[in-house]
Structure 1
Amino acid sequence: MVTLATDRAADGLGEVVYEGVNRLGRDEVTLRLRRGGSDLFALERQLVRAGGVTLTQVFLVDAEAELHDFASADPYGDSLQGSYLALRQRYLSESGGRAAQRPGLAGNCLDQIGEIEHCRHEAELLRIARAVTQALGAEQYIFSWLVLDEKSGDVIEHRYLAGCDPAWLNKYIDHVWYMNDPLLEYAKRNVTPVLSSRLDLYSDAHWLATQAAAHGFRNNLVCPVHSGTGSVFVMLQASNAKRTEAGEEVLWRNRRSLRLLTCELLDWRLAGLRQQAASQFSLSEQELKVLRMVHDGGTAANVAEALGVSVKTVYGVVYPRIDNKMGTPNINKAAAMAVSSGLIK
């Protein structure tokens, strides 16, 4: 378990200094500018589709030109022009118009990865991930946080920490290619790194072999890691545009370090969720113990024996108290929520 710095931001996402919400047909697009430290800013674009699927991109903003590049690559750019203009003005006001410094890798990759647990905001994660992946042979990367619908198995929440060409990720989302992504399908069911060339791409004309390659994703290493909850997993796609043999060789050689980076990014996110949930629900250690027992299949009789109370007290006092704190209709729902929020495993 990650020990967070005591001054970590409340949600780890950064202070919102601009937000613009736009209805575009049946979709909703929200643009946010977040401050992630004294000189760090992140652009967040969240798309909520009519069916409820949420896709959020987070990019580090070092200069005004990067906002222009992102807006130009947005398929809804014309409709969002007013929001992008307001966001740009806010960025210039908050940053003083100064481009942020791009420090190189301080120390070795393991040292940098070790700093992740002390990050207060996602913008700091983006800076470290960029430095580490580049040092390990990747020219671009996308770290994806993915939440599955427990019934259908479909991904209903995508959150991307992106160090890539914004035109590519916007195209990927706009064409709904996440519904036909062999890398994502592999990551759902596996936990070992793999090169995309070793996966079945259905055909030589698949978008991963043509469109993605045109945006610099010629060689891809995917590192999937699962959270243990069953409904949340992550994957790091590290890519370069080198000649295939050399490009794949450097990524494969560094697969263990890239997987370690993926694990640390996942742990950082889960630790933040645990911190939020613990603050929100104010559950005691005893109540967390009860939830773990219920999640593991324990009965009211098991709980009663563990707590030294009667079964009647479990049903009449212990379970209702937990349900009241968590706003759930029954203890099984409370246990499921505790798992999804990272309170218990």
Structure 2
Amino acid sequence: MRYSASAADPAADVVAPVPTVWDTVARLHESTDEADVVQLLSQVASQLSADAACFIGSVRVSASRRAQRLIAACDPAWASDYLFRQRFEHDPWLLHARRGTDPVLGSAIPADSVDQQDTVAAAHAAGLRSTWVIPAISSVGEDRIGVLYLASGVVGRLEQDPLLAFRMKVVGRSLAMELHEWLHVQMRRDLLAESRLTEAEIDLLRHEEQGHGSKAIAIALNTEAKTVDCRFQRIIAKLRVASRREAWRIAKVHGLI
């Protein structure tokens, strides 16, 4: 007597459920590789009827300089051009994320200068024509910002459906926050790897956060003030900044303290 696969094993015919958009967002917690995150971002974008997506993380590393990272599930040439030309300085969508917290359509954000208009035109040419701009909120304010672009290459595609707009806002906010946290962890690891800060040096920066001077720190650590000064100079050199306060701020925005 012959038995079918389903008769012998009823579970053999069970079809795995199709992952929901929330399942895909949740998988970001499990990802340690940026290529995997790009793939998941692309998958979420597709589930939301978007053709392209990009997350931009921006951290202030000095009074006049910021560091940017992109997670780009879109035209790689546009992403490379964005970084090479430092378009973040003239990106009105990113500027919106620095000033506000509400998701908004890119078409509703004015491009006030020639450079801003050129930045938007480059995004349109790369397939980000109908774009939701979704800021990611940070506990350290403008020192660390993030923004998610969910886009279609078809003009007006994401503006026409109220239900789709609602999904973009609700899912997009969660996705933006998850990507912001993921990138924050990666940038913290990169900073530690590049600077080789020790736990003792991070502890010194905690003293700086509390406003302790060299003499007070020396008493707490049972050493001399000039030794504390020397140790701070090493920290400043490692982080490539000009002062203790800037060193503390970089450690703060990267979540080291």
TM-score by length of 1: 0.54
Equivalent in 87, 90, 100 of residue 180 of structure 1: 90
Residue 208 of structure 2 is aligned to residue 299 of structure 1: no
Counterpart CA distance in 2 for 1:172 and 1:275 is 24
**CA distance in structure 1 between the aligned counterparts of 2:61 and 2:104, rounded to whole angstroms:** 25
| 1:171-210 correspondence runs (5 A) | 172=82, 177-202=87-112, 206-207=117-118, 210=121
Instruction: Pick closer, same or farther for the CA change 1:113–1:233 going to 2, 3 Å.
Output: same
Cα distance between partner residues in 2 of 1:300 and 1:115: 45
CA contact (8 A) 1:143 1:235 kept: yes
Q: Secondary structure at the match of 2:62?
A: coil
Question: 2: CA distance between counterparts of 1:217 and 1:208?
Answer: 11
- Structure 2: give runs of 5+ residues left out of the alignment: 1-16
Which of 171, 196, 199 is residue 257 of structure 1 equivalent to?
Answer: 171
Q: Distance in 2 between matches of 1:213 and 1:241?
A: 8
2:135 matches 1:219: no
Q: Choose between structure 1 and 2 for higher RCO, CA contacts under 8 A separated by at least 6 residues.
A: 2
Q: Work out the percentage of aligned pairs sharing the same amino acid.
A: 22
Structure showing the higher strand proportion among its residues: 1
Write the mapping of 1:310-321 to structure 2, written as runs, cut at 5 A: 310=219, 313=222, 316=225, 319=228
Out of 255, 262, 283, the position equivalent to 2:199 is 283
2:232 is matched by which residue type in structure 1?
D
Return the offset for 1:338.
1.9
Range with bigger deviation, 222-231 or 108-117: 222-231
Secondary structure of 2:199's counterpart equals: coil
Name which one, 1 or 2, has greater alpha-carbon Rg.
Answer: 2
Measured against aligned partners, the alpha-carbon deviations of 1:39-74 in whole angstroms (never above 9, x if no partner) come to xxxxxxxxxxxxxxxxxxxxxxxxxxxxxxxxxxxx
Q: Report the alpha carbon displacement of residue 244 of structure 1 after superposing the two structures with TM.
A: 1.7
Structure 1 gap ranges (5+): 1-104
Q: Which amino acid aligns with 1:260?
A: S
Alignment of 1:116 with 2:32, yes or no, is: no
Distance 1:256 1:327, change over 3 A: same
1:338 aligns with 2:247: no
Superposition pairs of residues 136-155 of structure 1, within 5 angstroms: 136-148=48-60, 150-152=62-64, 155=66
**Which SS does the other structure have where 1:281 is aligned?**
coil
User: Offset of 1:171 from its aligned partner?
Assistant: 5.4
Alignment of 1:67-106 (within 5 A): none
CA distance in 2, matches of 1:215, 1:277: 31
| CA distance 1:278–1:167, shift in 2 (3 Å) | closer
Deviation at 1:127, TM superposition (A): 0.9
Partner residue of 2:232?
323
Identify the residue that residue 74 of structure 2 maps to in structure 1.
164
User: Residue 235 of structure 1 aligns to a residue in which SS?
Assistant: strand
Q: 1:331 to 1:263 in 2, by over 3 A?
A: same
Q: Distance in 1 between matches of 2:147 and 2:157?
A: 23
Question: Would you say the 8 A contact 2:106–2:132 is kept in 1?
Answer: yes
The answer as to whether partners of 1:133 and 1:258 remain within 8 angstroms in 2 is: no
Work out the CA distance in 2 between the residues paired with 1:282 and 1:133. 40
Q: 1:173 to 1:336 in 2, by over 3 A?
A: closer
Match of 1:99 in 2: none
Once residues 113 and 63 of structure 2 are traced to their aligned partners in structure 1, the CA distance between those partners, rounded to angstroms, is 30
**Equivalent residue letter for 1:166:** P
* Residue 134 (structure 1) aligns with: 46
CA distance in 2, matches of 1:335, 1:224: 26
Count of aligned residue pairs for this structure pair: 231
Per-residue deviation, residues 14-40 of structure 1 (Å, max 9, x unmatched): xxxxxxxxxxxxxxxxxxxxxxxxxxx
Report the counterpart of residue 14 of structure 2 in structure 1: none
Shift of 1:125: 0.7
Which whole-Å CA distance do the structure 1 matches of 2:243 and 2:155 have between them?
57
Secondary structure at the aligned position of 1:271 is classed as helix
Pair 288,196 (structure 1): closer, same or farther in 2 beyond 3 Å:
same
Higher share in helix: 2
